[in-house]
A and B are shown apart, each in its own frame.
Chain A
C-alpha cells in the first residue's frame, strides 16, 4: 500500500489551564478575553500524536491545518517538530468568531484544496467551547465515514480501526478510508519535544504557507448558524466554603451530619 496521507486539524486557543482570574468577559462586544498564552487545543495535540504514531507504524505524510483570524506560526510549528510534514495556516479576517458549522465549512474547503487524503483527524472537541462538533460536521460535509472519540487508532488493509470510547468502556469500530476520526485524550499526550528542537523549528528558515478565503473558495461568515446573544462570568453558585474544625474525628462527625442533611 502506498503511503497514507493524514490531515490533522489543529486549532489554537488560549491555554485552557489559565486560572479564572485571567478570564474576563466583554459583555458589550460579546467577547471572552483571556490573558493567557495561545496553545494548540489539547485534544488536537492528541490527534497529532495519533497521526505521528500511525506514521511510525505504517508510514504516512501528515499535513496540519490550523484556522483562525490570526494563527501564530510559532505555536503551530510545534506540530512540525513533533513529526508533521507540512503545516498550512488558514488565516483571514473572515475566520473570526466562527461557529462550529462555518469553521467546518472553511476546513472542508481547505481539505478539498489539499486533496488526496486518506484520513482526517481532529480533536474530540476544542478546549475553549467544548462543543465537539467541528470534526463531525466536517466528516458529514465531506461525505466520509466518521468515528468519534478515538482512544487508539490503527490502520489495517485500507481501513481504519478505532477503539472508540463508550460510557462503559470502548468498542472497536472499523471504517474504510478515506475516513474522519475525532481523537480523545486517552490516545495520550503529544510527545515531548526538546527545547533545542523547538527553537530550531521556530527559528528555522522554512516558510509556512498561509491560505485565505480566496485560496479555499469558501466564505464561512455567510454560513453562521449560531448567534451569541449574551456572555457573562460564571454564575455565583453561592459557595462560601465552610471549614470543619476539630480533631479528624470531630471534622468527620460534622461532615457526616452535613451528608445526612442532604438526604
Chain B
C-alpha cells in the first residue's frame, strides 16, 4: 500500500523557490489528514546543504538527488530520476508546483509513471483517505473536483501563491537522505544546446507578491516606465497583457493570462487592461485586484476589488507619488 506524501522542491541556480515552501506546507496538512509522513524530494548539483530548509516547514524527510547532470534542470533527467524514486518508494500523494518548470516536469512525470495528474489546483483535501483536487477549468469559468482511479501516486500540481505557507518552526528538522538512482545517458533523449535569458531577468511573476500589469491602454513600450516607477515604490513586478506582448511591447515572460503565466499575487494592479477572458484566467485568483481603466464598462472591473475610472497616465504617476509618502 502506497504510503506518504511527497512534494518535489523547485530550485533554480541553487536557490529554493517559494513554491517549494508552499508545497511543503500544503503537503504537511495533507500528510496530517492521512496520518502519514511528508517527504520533500530535492534535485540538483551540490544542493545537499539546502535540504535543511524544509524541516521547519513540516517535512519529516528530505530525499536529495545530487548529480552534476541535474543542474541546470532538464526535463529528461528530472523525469528519469524522480520516476525511479517514486517507483521504489511508492508514495500515496505526489505534489509539484504549477510553475513553468513544475508543469513541464509534472506533465512528463505523470506520463512516465502512467498516472493521472490534476494540473494547477487551487484546493486539496483528503476525503475517505484519498486526495480530492479542485481546479479551475474553462479559463476559470467553472471549477472541477477530481479524484484518481487506480492511479498511484495521486498526483497534482498546486497553483503558485495559493497554498498558505506554514510559520517555520526552527526547532523542527527533517531527516536528510541520499536518494538512490541511476542516470543513464540513454534516458536523455533531448539535448539542451544553449539557454537564452530574456533581458528582463526579474522576479518570476508566478512568485511575485505584487504585480503591476499594463495592457493595450499603455499605448506603447515607451510608456512602461510609468508602471515600473510605481512597481519600484510598492515593491512589485511588472506584467503585461497578451495584447501588449503580441504587439512586441513586452517580453513573453511578462505575459499574464491563459496563454502566459497564471499568477495569484497578494496585489494585482491592472492598468489599461480591459479584462479579456484569457487575461482573467491568469489572474482572477489574486488576493486583491485593482483596476485602473478609462472605460467604466471594462470587464476587468467585475473582477476587481478596487477600481479607478480614469486615465492611467494621470492616475498611475499620482499613485506613485502618493505611495512614496508611505515608504
Contacts and interface: CB of A to CB of B under 8 A. Distances in A.
Given A168-B197, A226-B118, A230-B144, A173 B310 contact: no
Nearest to A128: B138
Contacts of B175: none
**Top 7 closest A-B pairs, CB basis?**
A256-B322, A252-B318, A145-B189, A225-B116, A140-B111, A169-B197, A230-B145
B119 A130 contact: yes
Interface residues of A, number: 83
A129 B141 CA distance: 11
Determine the main DSSP class of B at the interface with A: mixed
B103 interface: yes
B322 A252 contact: yes
A32 B116 contact: no
A42 B260 CA distance: 13
A231 B303 contact: no
Interface string B137-150: 11111111111111
B308 A251 contact: yes
A55 to B, nearest CB: 23
Interface of B: 12, 75, 99-101, 103-104, 107-108, 110-112, 114-120, 132, 136-151, 189-198, 200-201, 204, 206, 234, 252-253, 258-259, 266-267, 276-278, 281, 284-285, 288-291, 299, 301-311, 314-315, 318-319, 321-323, 325-326
Contact of B277 (A18, A133, A172, A255): A18
6 contacts: A171-B194, A225-B150, A234-B142, A241-B291, A255-B306, A259-B323
Given A23-B138, A136-B108, A168-B200, 9 more contacts: A133-B107, A149-B100, A171-B193, A175-B191, A225-B116, A234-B140, A240-B305, A252-B319, A259-B234
A147 B74 CA distance: 11
Interface stretch (A3-11, A67-75, A159-167): A159-167
Nearest to B261: A167
A137 B305 contact: no
A228 B197 contact: no
Contacts of B148: 225-227
Interface string A168-211: 11111111100100001110000000000000000000000000
B276 to A, nearest CB: 7
Contacts of A251: 308, 310, 315, 318
Given A17-B278, A169-B196, A233-B143, A130 B137 contact: yes
B104 A16 contact: no
B195 A17 contact: no
Interface of A: 14, 16-20, 23, 25, 32, 34, 42-43, 99-101, 104, 127-133, 136-137, 139-141, 144-149, 151, 161, 163, 165-176, 179, 184-186, 224-235, 237, 239-244, 248-249, 251-253, 255-256, 258-260, 262
B136 A234 contact: yes
A192 to B, nearest CB: 15
Nearest to A125: B119
Contacts of B290: 255, 258
Contacts of A229: 132, 145-147
A14 B204 CA distance: 31
Contact of B101 (A166, A184, A240): A166
